Amino acid sequence: MRTLVFIPAWNEEASIDAVIADVRANLPAADILVVDDGSTDATTERARAAGVRVATLPFNQGLGAALQTGYLWALREGYDACAHLDADGQHPASEVARLLAEVEADRADLVIGSRYAAQPEPLPGAEVLDGVDGQDYRATWSRRIGINVFRFMLTLATRQRFTDTTSGMRAANRRVMKLFSENYSPDFAEIESLQMAVREGLRVEEVPVRMLERTGGTSFLTPVRSAFFIFKGLVVILVGQFKPRHAEAER
């Protein structure tokens, strides 16, 4: 299968080299695309120097636009599967490979790497994956509140249990590429995309993964921004319940 790994990045010059190297080491057969969301630092230059393709957006448009660019690129270039991970070094590429394995085996259309999903009991004699319960990642109190609120509301809205609705580590097949390249939220990409995928009848699965502390840059979320993010996210979920399904809108 032809696979694309794309990396949305905004002012991540401090970590982009290491992230690209990690993807190459763990997914040597995959092509790599960095989607530079209007960075004002040397993110684009460093990515190009590393020898990967770069899609540079003319100005900062938000995570949703960067992710949609990646899905659209994967669809138009004929890839069978794609995955994305953050550019700040929190997502080990070895874990991304596990998500892609689920897609390649056709067990799901969209696979989410969850920091909080419990690892199932291993079969007798099976290898136990070390550290996949996310103990290397420590969320702030405000982020934990948001995660728990979104977990409850999205599970209620979709009637499918989710544990990590804001995870930026995901893998997908062409059905998802087509849906997301045409319909993707600019502000609440992770949350609304899950709601939309379930409503469209796609198979969405969570896989427990290990995540790390960011290796460079700083998070844009402050306690005030987190509270506003939670409020807007709840509005997005509520509105999403009344949107027509994509197939219905085409008829």
- The class (CATH top level) of 3-250 is alpha beta
The predicted structure's pLDDT at residue 153? 81
Residues in the chain with pLDDT values less than 50: 121-135, 248-251
The predicted structure's pLDDT at residue 228? 58
Report domain extents, the chain: 3-250
Taking the C-alpha atoms of residue 237 and residue 188, their distance in angstroms, rounded to an integer, is 9
Within 164-203, strands assigned E span 170-173
CA angle 110–73–182, rounded 5-degree value: 65
Taking the C-alpha atoms of residue 44 and residue 2, their distance in angstroms, rounded to an integer, is 24
Within 28-84, strands assigned E span 31-36, 53-56, 81-84
Q: What is the pLDDT of residues 67-107, one digit of tens each?
A: 999 999 999 999 999 999 999 999 999 999 999 999 999 99
pTM confidence score: 0.80
The predicted structure's pLDDT at residue 130? 45
The predicted structure's pLDDT at residue 4? 98
The predicted structure's pLDDT at residue 214? 64
Q: What are phi and psi of 200, to 5 degrees?
A: -85, 0
CA angle 125–131–137, rounded 5-degree value: 165
Taking the C-alpha atoms of residue 123 and residue 39, their distance in angstroms, rounded to an integer, is 46
